Amino acid sequence: MLLVESLDQISHPFKNAVITIGNFDGVHKGHQALLKQVISQAKKNSGTSVALTFEPHPLRALGIDTPPLITRYDQKMELLDASGIDVVICLPFDQAFAAVSARDFIEKILVDKIGMKTIIIGPDYTFGKDRTGNIDMLKQQGKSLGYETIVADWIKDPASRTHRISSTRIRQIVMDGQVEQARQFLGRHYQIRGKVVQGRSRGGSQLGFPTANIKLHDELCPKFGVYAVTVETIHGNFMGVANIGYSPTFDDHIFTIEVHIMDFDRDLYGTRIRVNMVARLRDETKFANIRELSDQILKDIETAKELLVKNGFVTDRHIS
């Protein structure tokens, strides 16, 4: 995948460019289907498949509050790369870009600069200054500028079959702790990332279960509770149990994400790990004493291991 982060990097239009445009937050199954259609159309046209996105999120650039992102920039680029798309153009979005008219966006950027011959977008796509551009405008301009507009169908929610898969729906599912359902929408487990930092030195010494304490990189945090997880480290992949919340038994009111990694004894301080949220096991609970908490953690580990092994989560893949 070629990553382009400025229009100045494009010296000449891409050959028979087939373009889709969006924020692609989560790169969920709906996005994946759209990207697959773009790639397929580009092959038919002997052309280049292109995904155009923006950084930061356009609403944020305009000072409008937005919900937490499902995937931040680094993960989004990894997922777009994995889709097989030829080119990702990630343009900086600011007030000047927001002032570009819909017609100029089509003619000067999409057609003249990128070389668009086909655009494939969802039914509600709008663009340009004050969002005055729409599908009707794209189709009308295509007659004179020589490109085709294809409107892609929504991908339905696999549970209800009535609602479409959307980033908004996935965001709520994750915040509700329904990480197993999130997998149905994402096509993968919801993942949090972060750097391992010094904790409160009580996991191994007080509880008997050492933990990696994470400084969260992501914006979207699952509902507080205990989860069965798989953990990607610089030493490979491992099974684990994660606790997200305030550890009420200790009553210190400090938010933490603590991950006990099974069958692991390496030093991870200062390294980044990725935690795949497989299943929510229980709510956070305040126990009468540390012994009761320790006994429950042992049960959580046994439950998580049984679940993960049953589902084939025994891997050993290194990450960068």
Domains of the chain with bracketed CATH: 2-151 (3.40.50.620), 189-310 (2.40.30.30)
pLDDT tens track for 169-194: 999 999 999 999 999 999 999 999 99
Q: Which of 134-148, 192-206, 251-265 has the lowest mean pLDDT?
A: 192-206
Q: What is the pLDDT of residues 246-280, one digit of tens each?
A: 877 777 778 999 999 999 989 999 999 999 999 99
pTM of the model: 0.91
- Specify which residues 243 forms β-bridges with: 226, 258
pLDDT tens profile 60-87:
988 898 999 999 999 999 999 999 999 9
The pLDDT value recorded for residue 289 is 85
Torsions phi, psi of 44, nearest 5?
-60, -35
